Chain A
Amino acid sequence: MKIVVTVKQVPDTNAEKALDPATKRLNRSTIENVLNPFDEYAIEEALRIKEKLGAASTVTILTMAPESGRDVVRKALAMGADDAALISDSAIAGSDAMATAYILALALKHIGFDLVISGTQSTDAINCIVPAAVAERLGVPCLTYAKKVTAGDGKVEIQRETESGYLTAVAPLPAFVSVAKGINEPRYPSLKGIMGAKKKEIKALSLTDIGAESGRFGDAGSKTKVTSFSSVGARQKGTVVAVSDGRQGAQKIMEFLIDKKVI
């Protein structure tokens, strides 16, 4: 089975983020980039499926990023993926989620796949719409928010998180699956894996390679535009009290809640 995992580099999740006032885009220059934490679950799930199905299966990593994106791809390769492809072109900058999905879908078609696995979202944009948009563009079954995945025999079955619990859904391959946080425990790259990753291929794909039409990506291909933004003031420090017992603490909180008319 040919499995492709889409990944994204994101600013470190522990950093405070800011918008660049001129471009109205995230200021990425001052923040260290990491592999999107949600994608680690996708890579792990792909590796587990490959390990279960045996040697004929492969795991390919796909990312759309500036050249610096090679670092996060190396991590995915160190975890055990076989090879990778990177679409890098300054013309892609400014693409909104739907334009991003356009590029990813073309790249996936170019690479070929039986199963695509992604995370549910990235920690920087949190749109959560790229997986379903890519699946729709590819015209393959879309099984998102999986907390359990079983793939093989030409089909894939997932348990999908819902607001009230979960449901089980099954579809024929090829298909697109997004996995929820916590579906597995992502492995740490071993030293051998890290050394081995240096020899694995990261293929550079151009917009021409994948057949992207101008006007469909970047600023020009995006149907949404940030027109303005305002900073929300930092929250002020309120009252903090120390208490001697539980009853007293509870009473202090009650007085506060009643005073604020929230109870």
Chain B
Amino acid sequence: MKSVIVYVEQEDGKARRIGSEMATKGADLGKALGVPSSAVVLGKGAAQVADQLKKTPLDAVIVGADIPVDAFLLDPAVDALEMLVNERGPSLVLVPASNSGKDIAARLAVRTNAGVITEANDIAASDGAVAVKSPKFGGSVISTIGFVGAENQIVVCRPNSFAARDEAGKGETIELSAPGGKSYPVAITEKAAQEAGKLTVDEAGIVVSGGRGLGGPEHFDIIEALAGALGGAVGASRAAVDAGWISHQHQVGQTGKSVSPQLYIACGISGAIQHKVGMRSAGIIVAINKDPNAPIFEFCDFGVVGDIFQIVPELTKLVKERRGVA
């Protein structure tokens, strides 16, 4: 292993928190492996993100501001990473568990003949080898996974898994320029960012979820209000998503996302196994449901049998009062 490379995604000069989380973890792994660590950030706005990343203990930030990541789908990013891995020799590459991150991991692995471990929530290095912890089967089992005969190693990291640390590293900046005039087959023709700046359900420290008990899409506003007051994200059960009340990106559970926030508040969600496996690794689970026999009351830390339409808005008020934003 000769290098640790952290791929940081950004949009309009802003990186999600997982960028700093992976940068910190990557720097620590670099030290443990005795190799240099660097982050790669691409596209317009990359320089701003590089400034943020220099607050983490990385050795260097590689900035490719003119790599055309906004014009072509993923090919430019895969090309840039492939070039870096080939240039630096055997590498450990960390990528975020976003839609694009997973695609990049898979494609880079094919090109560099790398092994890939996904859904990592911890990574350790000793004696030159990497051990990755990953929850399986809805968090009922934690697997420790290693690489076998893989010169290049790629780990897809779950948000909210590593602590980000402010501790400036060497602060070196390396410019990466795009080969001129190169075109790729998959063109991006339009971008729509309705939820720009909002926390995704798997990166938020607090998640407030709504289920069948909400009775209709119009009632998600009470969930959004509570999530907003707590500075968290909005989640949903399969029932709510399948009914078309909210988009699939918000779904928590087996056919949605797995989340492990410090606090999970389930509102009008019965707690079927399909939902449970997506949220049972949360720090604290609070449930509100009018059915005293709902399965969720069997595994929540605190449950209230009552009407979500009365309790949730009152709870939002109390949270705002406590935070002084009434």
Quick one: given A101-B110, A232-B281, A242-B305, are A142 and B186 in contact (CB under 8 Å)?
yes
Task: State the CA gap A160–B190 with chains docked (Å).
Answer: 10
* B140 CB within 8 Å of chain A: yes
Stretch from B26-34, B172-180, B292-300 contacting the other chain: B292-300
Name the interface residues of B189-218: CB closer than 8 Å to any CB of A.
189-198, 200, 206
Residue of A nearest to B192 (CB): A165
Bound form: Cα–Cα A234–B285 in Å:
13
User: Given that A127-B119, A136-B110 are known contacts, is A263 also in contact with B322, CB under 8 Å in the complex?
Assistant: yes
Q: Given A101-B110, A223-B148, A243-B305, are A171 and B299 neighbors across the interface (CB < 8 Å)?
A: no
With known contacts A137-B110, A256-B286, A260-B284, A238–B255 Cβ distance under 8 A? no
Contact A169 B286 (CB under 8 A): no
Q: Does A226 contact B (CB under 8 A)?
A: yes
| Interface pick from A15-23, A55-63, A187-195 | A15-23
When the two chains form their complex, are residues A249 and B141 in contact, meaning their CB atoms are under 8 A apart? no
Q: Are A227 and B200 in contact (CB-based, < 8 A)?
A: no
- Asked if residues B191 and A232 are in contact (CB atoms below 8 Å), the reply is no
Q: How far is the CA of A238 from the CA of B296 in the complex (A)?
A: 10
A160 and B322: CB pair below 8 A? no
Chain B binding site: helix, strand, loop or mixed by DSSP? mixed
The 8 A CB mask of A114-139 against B (1 = contact, 0 = none) is 00000000010011111111011100
- Distance in Å from the Cβ of B115 to the closest Cβ of chain A? 3
A168 at the binding interface (Cβ < 8 Å)? yes
Task: Report the bound CA distance from A18 to B277 in whole Å.
Answer: 13
- Residue B17 CB within 8 A of the other chain: no
The distance in angstroms between the C-alpha atoms of A227 and B230, with both chains bound, is 39
Taking CB atoms, residues of chain A closer than 8 Å to B288 are 249, 253
What residues on B are CB-neighbors of A238 within 8 Å? 285, 300-303
- Mark interface residues in B233-275 (1 if CB within 8 Å of A CB, else 0): 0000000011000011101001110100011000000001110
Interface check A153, CB cutoff 8 A: no
Bound Cα distance A262, B263 (Å): 7
Q: How far is the CB of B306 from chain A (nearest CB, A)?
A: 4
Tell me how far the C-beta of A42 lies from the nearest C-beta in chain B, rounded to whole angstroms: 14
B105 touches A256 (CB 8 A): no
Closest to A145 in B: B99
In angstroms, Cα B298 to Cα A145, docked, is 35
Within 8 A of B (CB), among A128-182: 128-133, 135-137, 141-145, 157, 160-172, 180-182
Segment among B47-55, B59-67, B309-317 that sits at the interface with chain A: B309-317
Contact, CB under 8 Å: A127 / B118 = yes
Distance, CA A111 to CA B22, complexed state (A): 41
B73 with A160: CB separation less than 8 A: yes
Q: Using Cβ atoms and an 8 Å threshold, which residues of chain B touch A128?
A: 99, 102, 118
Q: Is A68 an interface residue (CB 8 A)?
A: no
B190: shortest Cβ distance to chain A, in Å?
4
Of the candidate stretches B35-43, B85-93, B131-139, the one touching chain A is B131-139
A30 interfacial contact with B, CB 8 Å? no
Instruction: Please name the residue on chain A nearest to B315 by beta carbon.
Output: A250
| A249 touching B306, Cβ below 8 Å | yes
Which of chain B's residues have a CB closer than 8 A to the CB of A172?
Answer: 185
* Residues of chain B lying within 8 A (CB to CB) of residue A236: 299
Q: Are B307 and A246 in touch, CB under 8 angstroms?
A: yes
Q: Is B149 an interface residue (CB 8 A)?
A: yes
B107 within 8 A of A: yes
B44 beta carbon closer than 8 Å to chain A: no
Minimal beta-carbon separation of A25 from chain B (angstroms): 11
Which residues on the B side are within 8 Å of A166 (C-beta)?
A: 191-192
| Binary flags per residue of A224-263, CB closer than 8 Å to B gives 1, else 0 | 1111111110111111111101110111111011101011
> 24 A–B contact pairs at CB < 8 A?
A16-B273, A18-B137, A19-B136, A132-B102, A136-B111, A145-B99, A161-B249, A164-B193, A169-B73, A171-B187, A181-B251, A182-B241, A225-B145, A229-B141, A232-B135, A234-B299, A235-B280, A235-B300, A239-B302, A246-B313, A249-B315, A251-B318, A257-B286, A262-B263
Which B residues have a C-beta under 8 Å from some C-beta of A?
11, 16, 73-74, 78, 98-100, 102-107, 109-111, 114-119, 131, 135-150, 156, 185-198, 200, 206, 230, 241-242, 247-249, 251, 254-256, 258, 262-263, 272-274, 280-281, 283-286, 288, 292, 297-307, 309-315, 317-319, 322
Besides A223-B148, A229-B141, A251-B314, 16 other CB < 8 A contacts?
A14-B272, A14-B274, A123-B254, A130-B106, A131-B106, A168-B191, A224-B150, A227-B145, A229-B144, A231-B140, A236-B299, A243-B304, A249-B307, A249-B315, A254-B315, A257-B286
